[in-house]
Structure 1
Amino acid sequence: MPLVFKSLTTRIIATTIVLLVGGIFIYTFFNVRQQQSQLIDTARENTELLLHTVENSIYNTMHLGNVQDVSSILAMMGQHNQLVGVRIFHPHGVILRSSNPAEVGKVVGMDDYRLYLNPKHYGIFDLPPYGEVLSMVKPIYNEAACHTCHGSKAKVIGILNVDYSLYRTKMQMLTASRIFIASSVAITFFLSITISFILFKFVKKPLDSMTANMSRVENGDLSVRIDYRGTDDEIGKLINSFNSMVDRLEVTKKELEQYHFQQLERADRLAAIGEMAAGIAHEIKNPLAGISAAVSIIRDDMEPDDPRSGILKEVLQQVQRLDKTVNDLLFFGKPSVPELACIDISDIIEKTLKFASQHRGVKHIERQLEFAPGLPTVYADGKQMQQVFLNLILNAFQAMSEGGTLTISTSLSTRQGRDHVRIDVADTGSGIPPQIQEKIFTPFFTTKAQGTGLGLPICYKLINLHNGFFTVANNTPRGTIFTIELPACSVHDIEEVRRAHET
């Protein structure tokens, strides 16, 4: 398609002009045909009038007995500039009287004779050298006044024939057609120019302005606005919507910039707090070790039935809790780089579940393993995966303090065009409210009285370090289901492991 026709306005103008020209052409064609028909009818009426005039003159002359005057009447009528021939011929075809004496006694032309046999008694045909003529015939009946000369046997004593030239009529038709066609072309040209001007001014110009301003908005300039006077038409409504959209974009941009600035400030504060927390954790860890050792020695020196031994035992538990919190904080601030290898995740899960099942209070919890057969190995760090699954399993046990079922299942899934091993850890506990699910991976957020709020964030971070996916959802009919998807070992991963072992 040519470039010029890619414009919507150009296509509308071209289509409108084509339809306009087509409509005016059809109207002109039928109008010219109608005018031609009317001019032919007028010529026929004039010929019929002349025919009646000649007929009446002949009847009057013959009634008076002046038969010789008939030729004079025909000769006089033949001088009419529109008549090319006036004659009377016998029903057998012989010309009896004529405005042209040279044709008397000759046989009338076949076209004129056929008109006598035709019920219409008129027709148009070429008559050299006059061109097209309108020929009309009218029988002269044998009336009582004519019996004296013609007897009473013949019903028709002659046929009056008039040939009317259509040359002037054709010239009038040609002139009228030229005038009408010229006026139609002028009207078409004027309407085309007017429609094009209107479309360019009220459609193309505003649309071009909107396109240019949209490009500026796309490049980030939100200060552009379009001024349009015809605010009540469709283009005006479109431009108003565009201006309103840019206004909202500008407001949203300012809000996002302000929010981004706040987030940067918050990130800076959190970074500073993280560095401070890591420093404090290092400072706390060593004294805690000393306190734990000292309390253990003092407790070992006491008699088993000494009431102070229980207090020291509680002190040791709190020290251990503080030490775990410090370790989690240090690990979350700077987790160790995973040592990736192709491992059997089912084996890791079985070992972790067996270890976690030694926890007190889990005998009344049913444990189910549903491993899909033939699963590929995963590219992960076995120790870190054991840490993740231990955290999830212990959380599930705590959520089912009054009993329930823990189900761990595996399957094959596809993420971003690569095979993944999917692990679902589902419990039948009280579940996690939807408004809290979005917060459980946030550091230090916890609903447990003794929790640090770092377990799940650490798990989430470890899964991300393995290029995996970690999600949570409510289990059916009750409980929670955590889903982990880890990349399956590929040929490239196996080669990486082989090279690592060789080095």
Structure 2
Amino acid sequence: MVPRIKLGLKLRVFLSVALFYLAALGTLTYLTIRSQKNLLLEQMGDRARTAINLMELSVAPPLYKWDIRTLRIVVVEAKSLRGVEYAYVFNAEGRIVADFHEMEEELFSVFTDEFGQRAIKSDETLVDVDHKKGILDVSKPVILGHEKLGGIRLGFDLKPMFDEMKQVTVKALLIAAGIFLLGLLVIFGIASRMTSPIEQLTVAAKHIEAGDLQYRVSLKRSDEIGSLASAFDQMAERIMHREGELKQSQDLIRRADRLSSLGMLTAGLAHEIRNPLVAIRTFTQLLPERYQDPEFRNSFQAVALKEVDRICSLINDLLNFARPSTPNVSAEDINEIVEGIVRILETEAREKEVQIYRRLASSLPKIFIDKEQIKQVSMNIILNALQSIEGRGVVEVSTRLFTKNHSDQYIQIEIRDSGAGIPGGDLENIFNPFFTTKKDGGGLGLSISHQIVQEHGGYIVVESQVGKGATFFLNLPVRPPNQQEVKDHP
């Protein structure tokens, strides 16, 4: 299938008008050349009629008297006429009685060609063009009183006329070509003037689409296009104003969401820290009584260190959630990130007898992300998938490009496992801080992952069926560099 060639508006306007102009100019040139040719033929015909009429005056008396000698003299004199190729005088029966070639074999013979047969039968002057031989054939009957004595037939060479016609044609084509080229320049100027404002509007629309809301068209025209440009600039001004209002609203929502999350974090952190502190407090109360017991001291040391490490881990997770690291955005290949994580986790997967399958789409575009943050998200979810499988199982990691809302492109990382799955009641809570189904989990991993993906302008979708596993879809937008926004939380 031949691919369609996309033509710009200026080129389409230019080609449309140019083709119409070419057709009109070509038609006019053709009609001019044809008219000139007909004019030359008409002039040649008039000259031939004049010559044969004059010759008739000299032929009629000797033909009536059957004076063959005089007829031959008259015919031979026809050689002096410019361009005459042949001259015949024939009697009423159509037999040649005089020929300026003076060929004896033609005397008293009858014309066998089409034009000769018509000349014999006709009672009026005939003018025909023999295009094959390039001859203008003229015949006229010789009538005296009411009696047809015979006729005269002359042939004129059309080659000089054809040569002149060629010169006229060449001149006409050269003039037409010059006019056409000049017309093309005029058409191009008109097309440029017509389409230039539209091209400026197109460029402005692309700037607005790319996020440059300060770009303006500023066309100084009093026609409809000028009104359109003015309306476009006003629309861009309103969009920029609304964008500012929207950002303010988003900041307020983000702060409110942060306060809400911090409230949940405070409650969760108090609950999570209480348990290790209770254990440490209990051992501390018993320490004076059992200080001399080496086994007790060793147990106390192990428990205290373990619980302190747990508190430190909770605090670190809390800090990561509340104040994520400054993003370092660059163009990255998502397949390379996923491939690197899978290689790291393959050893652990083999120990658990879990197979990791990769289905990575080829030719994915690079996207502007914080590589370390997205690596952290992918690592966390793939690791959760491995830990959800008891015994043998499978984890599938796929990447693909898809389009949302007919225009927004996303790269999707799909992580599917054959684990126990997530109960329906837990699905809506898995991204809440400190929510976990693990015995030793802190409940902040998925919350942080969800936050990072949102800060990249993406979103996470989870599907699960108890007993058949869960599937996480990480969707990251594909945007030009000036559109990618990765922000710190306030």
Task: Name the TM tier (shorter chain).
Answer: 0.3 to 0.5
Length-normalised TM-score, structure 2: 0.47
Length-normalised TM-score, structure 1: 0.46
